[in-house]
Structures are given as structure tokens and as C-alpha cells.
Amino acid sequence: MQFVTIIFIYILSGYFYFEASGFRENAGIFPEMVSLILLVLNTIYLFQELKEKRKISKNNSGKSTIVKPTKQFYVITIASIGYVALLNVIGFLILTPMYLALIMFYLGGKRKKVIFPIVIVFTFAVYISFSSLLNISIPQGIIFNL
Amino acid sequence: MDAVFEALLNTLGWYNILIIFIGAFAGIIVGCIPGFNASVGVALTIPLTFSFPPDTGLILLVSIYAGAIYGGSIAAILINTPGEPGNIITAMDGYNMTKQGLGSKALGMAAIASWIGGTISAIFLFLVAPPLSKITLMFGPFEMFLLAIFGLSLIVGLSKESLVKGLISGGLGVLFATVGIDTITGTYRYTFETPALYQGISLVGLVIGLYSLGAVFELAETKSSTIQTDGIKIDRKHLLPTWKDIKKTYKTIIRSGVIGTFAGITPGAGMSIGSAISWDVARRGSKNPDNFGKGEIEGLAASESGNNGVVGGSLIPLITLGIPGNSVSAIFLGGLLIHGLRPGAELFTTHATVTYGLIWGFVFANFVMIIIGLSASRFFAKLAVIPVYILAPLIFVISTAGTLADRNLIFDVAIMLAFGILGYFLIKVGIPLVPLVLGFILGPIAESEMRRALLITQGDVTPYLTEPIAILLIVLIILSLFGTQLKDLITTMFGRKKEN
């Protein structure tokens, strides 16, 4: 996981650096400077991690302290990506109760009598608070816009 | 002085008083719930403040901040679950008091000590902040650039994991802040021809993603479904401490409020250190030091007064120099900038009414906090045991609505989600998030000041390096980043000399 992070930082700062070199006037000077510093720091971080890995394998002291992402993380992430992608299409009032119920049951909720009222009341409470009281436009979806 | 009274009258308006009540109430709820904390509360509230004038918006933020710190003590006392890191010390004496059947008294003392500690820090805010803000008038663009870097270096230097990881986090934040149209040349930077990115990455999306979604993932991964509170009874009759308790603890409360304020002023020290030092000083000066940690009311009072003192203390360097002392004030700085308020002397001249309104708001929030705290502790205690399967998805939905409130763009919600995932992985590998947020907030200030400075001298930095303030700031940056290493080096050198 550390090495995935290191590769990600290399790609990100490398992209920022090369892109900045094409900016006109001096618009690229600051991002160039920061991404260069980041590339150097990331290299130090890489060496630190390699040293740590060597130490662990030398001592046979077993595992790294880093905990891998759990199944819950992946499920919630996928469900949340779906929720965000469909929010404008289906709308807040329909999609939110579906999302809430799905995650609540997945995380161990069993009692429908508890979950459904919470889901419905909460959805309406958020909708009314944001749209009516704070004048914030909450996605209506295609159905409500017909 | 006129601005102080004008702000007082403005804060005493029914609308602002209502906002203080709502903010303190919501803050206490946020503080009560394990996994939720002041950072999440303030981050989620920033988008809501767009609907209000700047003074009201900031009053709401400061009320949430103050309420959350006190709220953390309720869960710490009743169920041994500190809602905030600053309540860890509180739990030692508070929970033991609950087990001895003194839960009501512990809650009452926590409310009183929090109120006094917070009020002491507010007095310091009034006295210290205005003269301190005048220092910034002596700063040119290069000094302002160094000041922004200094603010970032303080947080990075205190990264518990490693200096390199802290610097990487800060660097990432600064880099993300460069996205959008460059304000000086009008160049489109990293926008991928996406209109939503022309104004840059949404601060609200970034902060809510890192903090609130982080809380969602953390809750989803917890093994326990909830914490039981069987057998805890809160007797409303005994909520107020006796005269004997007050007599025993008043000196400790006042002293701890002052200690907490100074801990707040010191960047990076934070609630935990404020309450720990206060508790330790109280223990050393006590007639019964052995009782501390076993249910001693004086220990509880010291800890609570200390961590609430940190709140006002942390606002001093924030509003005067733009240096946030902890993660909550870093997010708070974002709230100030969103409302077009830049820390420094201007806050006490052009925007004096708004700034003093914020301080008055903090004073009244502390007062409201004690009223709510004493009257609704039983209710708040129940919040701490909401099952995680309910809490986690609800936080996600509130986060989504909160992010939409910023610019009403689904794109920002996607940004929030992306930063939530990024934050999750960064935490897993031990890269702290606070420097990233701070880098994102201070990055644009650092860039614009640096380029202004270079424009004045046509790209030459050397004239600035002879300026005393610039030299002082460079020394401070080096010390804040490498202070520990330098100390070790000096100790080693002197140790060798002694041996020889």
C-alpha cells in the first residue's frame, strides 16, 4: 500500500511539473517548484520505506503495521460512487432512501421497523433543511423535472 | 472600542442569539458522538454559512467549535468514550466519578469548568488579538509569503509520524490549490477544460471529503456495533456542584483556563496537551495527588477548563497572523477566507465589527453551552450510543448536501468523494491530513505573495534576505521543521564533549 501511494505521488507531481512547464509567463513557477520538492520528498519517502522493508525481512519480525482496506471500505466506496453518479438522474428524494437503506442493512442493521422510518424521516429532514431553509438547490432528478 | 460595542449589540440581536443556541446545541451533539468531532462539525457547517452574512456565519462556526469541545466531555464522563482527543484526560476522572455514582456531579462540574475555561480564553482574545494583529502591518509580500510557509511548517513539524510524510501532505495540499485560473496571468492551470475547475478545487469538497468521509469509513470499519450505557443514571437534582466543590476547584479552573489558552496559542499543541498540562499542574499542586485519575473532581475540572481554554487560544494566532494552531482552526481559516476575510490587521480595522462579533459570539456560546449542558445531558448521553450502521450513511448524506451547498455542483460531490478515498489511503500509510488541508488553504496566499515579491525585485530574492523580519521567519521555519533533529544533534555533541 505504501508503494502504491508512492507511485501515485510520483505520477501526480510529475504530471503537475511537466504541465506547469508549458504555462505562459510565470504561471508555472510555483507549481513547478512545489512539484519538484514533492518529487524529492517522495524519493526520500521511498528510500525510508525500502529501508523499513529490509529491516522487517531481516529481523523476520513479521508484518508491516499498515492495515489493508476492508471489505466495508470497498462496498461503501462503490455504493457512494453509484450514488453520486445517479444523483442528478434519479434525484435526492428517491435515491437517498435507497442508498441509506442499502448501507444500513449491509453494515449490520436488521430491524426494518427501525431502519425505514429513520431513512424516510432523515431524507425529508435534510431535503427540507437544505432546500427550504437554506435555499440550496438539491438535485430533483428526471422524474420530478418531467 | 466603538467596534467592540457595535459588535456586542449586533451579536445580541435575536437572530444571532438563535444562531448561537443552534450552533452550541449542534456542536455538543457533534462532540458527543464518537467518530464525529469538532473538525467534522466545522467542516460540515462551512457551506451552511453561505446563506448568512459573514458575522452570523462565523458566530455559527465558533459556536459549533466551542460546543463540540464541551460535548466530547459528556461521552467521556458517562461511557468512557472521549468524543474529542482533548477529552481523554477528562475520561480518567469523569468516568470513575460515574462509576462511583457521581455522574451528575461530574457533568455539572464539566459544564462549569468548560464555561469558565472558554470565557478566560475569550478575555485573552479581546486583549491580545488586536495589538498582535498590527504586527502584520510591518510585513511586505516576501514576509507574508514566509509567514504562510511558517504556518504550514508548524503543523508539518509537529507531524507525529514523520517529517517527510508531513511535508508530502503539505506539498500535496499546495499543489491541489494551484488548480484553476491563475489570478495574475489568467492562465488555465490543470483545468482539463472543465468549467467546474476554473475556480479551482472546492475547499468545502476537499475538507468534507477528508474529514467527514474519513469518519464514515472509520465508523464502517469498527468492530463493535454500539456502546452500551446500561446502569447509568443522571440525577438532575445533583447536576450542580456544591459550594464545597466550587471552593475546592475554583483556583484550578482559573489556572487551567490560562494554561489552556497558552496551549491554544502555541501552534500544534492542541486540546490534548492543554488538558494534560492543566491536569498535571493541578495534580502536583493538590493535597490528594493519588486520587487523580481515580475520580477526583479537581482533575476533571482542570482537564475540562484546560481543553476549552484551547479554543479561544487557538483563535488568537489564527485571526491575527493566519496561523492555525490545530486542525479545527485550519478549517476555520478556510471559513474566514471563503467569506473574504483575510487574517491580519484588516480584521480589526475594515472588518472590526465582524471580528469582534466572532469573539462576542464565542463568549455567548460558552454561556449557552453551560445552559444546554446542564439541562440536556441525559439526552446527549443517548446520542453517543447511536449504532454505527445508522450513523455512517447519515454522515455521508449530510456531507453530500453540505458539499452541494457550496456551488451547487455534482462535480464538487465527486471531488469530495475522491478526497475521501485519498484521505483514507493517506491515513492508512501514516500520512497526516492536517498539513494537506493547511497547504490547500495557505498555498494560494504563499504563491500570490511570492510572485508579488518577485515582481517588485524583478525575480531577485537576495534583497529580502537581509530584512530582519524575513531572517527571523526563515530561522523560525527551520526551527519548526528541524527543531527536534537540531536538539538531538546538540545533545549528542555536548554529550560527547562531557564524555571526553
- What is the structure's pLDDT at B415? 93
* AA letter at B228: Q
Chain A residue at shortest CA distance from B448:
A30
Burial class (CB in 10 A: 0-12, 13-18, 19+), B75: buried
How many domains, chain A?
A: 2
User: Of A68, A77, A134, which is closest to B48 when you measure between CB atoms?
Assistant: A134
Do both A136 and A92 map to the same domain? yes
The vertex-B419 CA angle with B417 and B424, nearest 5°, equals 100
- What is the structure's pLDDT at A26? 81
Q: What's B141-159 look like in SS3?
A: HHHHHHHHHHHHHHHHHCC
Q: Whole-angstrom Cα distance, residue B290 to residue B302?
A: 15
Q: Which of these, B92, B89, B43, B41, lies nearest to B67 by C-alpha position? A: B41
Do both A103 and A40 map to the same domain? no
Give yes or no for B408 touching A (CB within 8 A): yes
Residues 6+ apart with CB under 8 A from B30: B36, B37, B38, B40, B41, B64, B67, B68, B71
C-alpha cell at B255: 489556572
Contact between chains at B190 and A16 (C-beta distance less than 8 A) = yes
Do both A105 and A77 map to the same domain? yes
- What is the structure's pLDDT at B229? 43
Residue A123 lies in a domain: yes
C-alpha cell at B143: 514576509
DSSP state of B408: -
Helix ranges, B81-102 (H): 88-99
Do both A17 and A78 map to the same domain? no
Closest approach of chain B CAs to the CA of A141, in angstroms?
A: 12
Give me the residues paired with residue B180 across strands.
Answer: B189
DSSP state of B347: G
Q: Which residue has the cell 544533534?
A: B489
Alpha carbon distance, N-terminus to C-terminus of chain B: 62
Give yes or no for A46 touching B (CB within 8 A): no
Mode of pairing for the β-strands spanning B180-181 and B188-189: antiparallel
What is the distance, to the nearest Å, from the Cα of residue A67 to the centroid of all Cα atoms in its chain? Answer: 17
Closest approach of chain B CAs to the CA of A45, in angstroms?
A: 7
Do both A40 and A93 map to the same domain? no
- What is the structure's pLDDT at B227? 39
Do both A37 and A79 map to the same domain? no
Tell me the per-residue pLDDT of A101-144, one tens digit each, with 9 for 90 and over.
999 999 888 888 888 999 999 999 888 877 776 667 788 877 66
H/E run at residue B270 = helix B270-284
- What is the structure's pLDDT at A18? 92
Q: Residue ranges per domain, chain B?
A: 1-224+238-492
Q: Give the A:B interface size as CB pairs under 8 Å.
A: 166
CA distances to A27, B73, B82, B167 from B438, in Å: 22, 27, 25, 11
Residue A108 lies in a domain: yes
Do both A94 and A37 map to the same domain? no
User: Of A13, A19, A73, which is closest to B190 when you measure between CB atoms?
Assistant: A19
Neighbours of B233 (CB within 10 A): 9
Q: B310 with B264: CB under 8 angstroms?
A: yes
Burial class (CB in 10 A: 0-12, 13-18, 19+), A81: middle
Contact between chains at B51 and A134 (C-beta distance less than 8 A) = yes
Q: B268 with B151: CB under 8 angstroms?
A: no
CA distances to B24, B66, B118, B354 from B370, in Å: 10, 11, 11, 25
CB contact residues (below 8 A), chain B span 369-388, against chain A = 387-388
The torsion angles phi and psi of B207, rounded to 5 degrees, stand at -65, -45
User: Of B387, B397, B430, which is closest to A100 when you measure between CB atoms?
Assistant: B397
Q: Whole-angstrom Cα distance, residue B422 to residue B299?
A: 40
Kindly indicate the confidence band of residue A16, based on its pLDDT and cuts at 50, 70 and 90: very high
Do both A50 and A75 map to the same domain? no
Give yes or no for A72 touching B (CB within 8 A): yes
User: Of B174, B220, B398, which is closest to A107 when you measure between CB atoms?
Assistant: B220
Burial class (CB in 10 A: 0-12, 13-18, 19+), B289: middle
* AA letter at B222: T
- What is the structure's pLDDT at B390? 86
Closest approach of chain B CAs to the CA of A145, in angstroms?
A: 17
Do both A130 and A75 map to the same domain? yes
CA Rg value for chain B: 23
Q: Which of these, B280, B310, B242, B327, lies nearest to B92 by C-alpha position? A: B280
Residues 6+ apart with CB under 8 A from B251: none
Residue A134 lies in a domain: yes
pLDDT at A12 over 90: yes
CA distances to A85, A119, A146, B58 from A94, in Å: 14, 11, 15, 34
Chain B residue at shortest CA distance from A26:
B185
Contact between chains at B216 and A12 (C-beta distance less than 8 A) = no
Give me the residues paired with residue B189 across strands.
Answer: B180
Q: Whole-angstrom Cα distance, residue B64 to residue B43?
A: 10
- What is the structure's pLDDT at B225? 55
* AA letter at A45: Y
The residue range of the domain holding A85 is 71-144
CB contact residues (below 8 A), chain A span 3-42, against chain B = 4-5, 9, 12-13, 16, 19-20, 23-31, 34-35, 37-38, 41-42
User: Which residue in A46, A77, A93 has the most chain B C-beta atoms within 10 A of its own C-beta, making it the best mutation to test that interface?
Assistant: A77
The torsion angles phi and psi of B39, rounded to 5 degrees, stand at -60, -45
Helix (H, G, I), strand (E, B) or coil at A25: coil
Cβ neighbours of A135 in B, within 8 Å: 51
Q: Whole-angstrom Cα distance, residue B38 to residue B148?
A: 24
- What is the structure's pLDDT at A63? 56
Q: Left (φ > 0), alpha (ψ -120 to 50) or beta: where does B232 sit?
A: beta
Do both A139 and A77 map to the same domain? yes
User: Of B220, B417, B429, which is closest to A5 when you measure between CB atoms?
Assistant: B429
CA distances to B90, B115, B243, B326 from B306, in Å: 10, 11, 21, 15
Do both A45 and A80 map to the same domain? no
Helix and strand numbers (H, E) in chain B are: 19, 2
Residue A92 lies in a domain: yes
Helix ranges, B82-226 (H): 88-99, 103-133, 141-157, 163-176, 203-208, 214-221
Q: Which of these, B174, B130, B167, lies nearest to B320 by C-alpha position? A: B130
Residue A66 lies in a domain: no
Closest approach of chain B CAs to the CA of A54, in angstroms?
A: 17
Helix (H, G, I), strand (E, B) or coil at B428: helix
Give yes or no for A69 touching B (CB within 8 A): yes
Give the pLDDT of chain B (500 residues) as one tens digit per residue.
677 888 888 888 888 999 999 999 988 888 776 556 788 788 888 887 877 888 888 899 999 988 888 888 887 787 666 666 677 788 888 888 877 777 778 888 898 999 999 999 999 988 888 887 777 667 788 888 888 888 777 667 656 567 889 889 989 999 999 999 888 888 899 988 888 898 889 887 888 888 778 778 877 877 555 433 444 555 555 567 788 888 888 899 999 999 988 888 876 556 767 887 888 888 888 888 888 888 889 999 999 999 889 888 888 888 888 877 677 888 888 888 888 888 877 788 888 888 899 899 999 998 898 888 878 766 766 665 678 888 888 888 888 887 887 778 899 999 999 999 998 888 888 888 878 887 888 888 888 888 888 888 877 777 777 888 888 888 888 887 777 677 777 777 766 655 55
Q: B80 with B97: CB under 8 angstroms?
A: no
Residue A65 lies in a domain: no
Give yes or no for B160 touching A (CB within 8 A): no
Tell me the per-residue pLDDT of A47-102, one tens digit each, with 9 for 90 and over.
988 888 888 777 765 555 666 788 888 999 999 999 999 998 888 889 999 999 99
Do both A8 and A35 map to the same domain? yes
- What is the structure's pLDDT at B163? 83
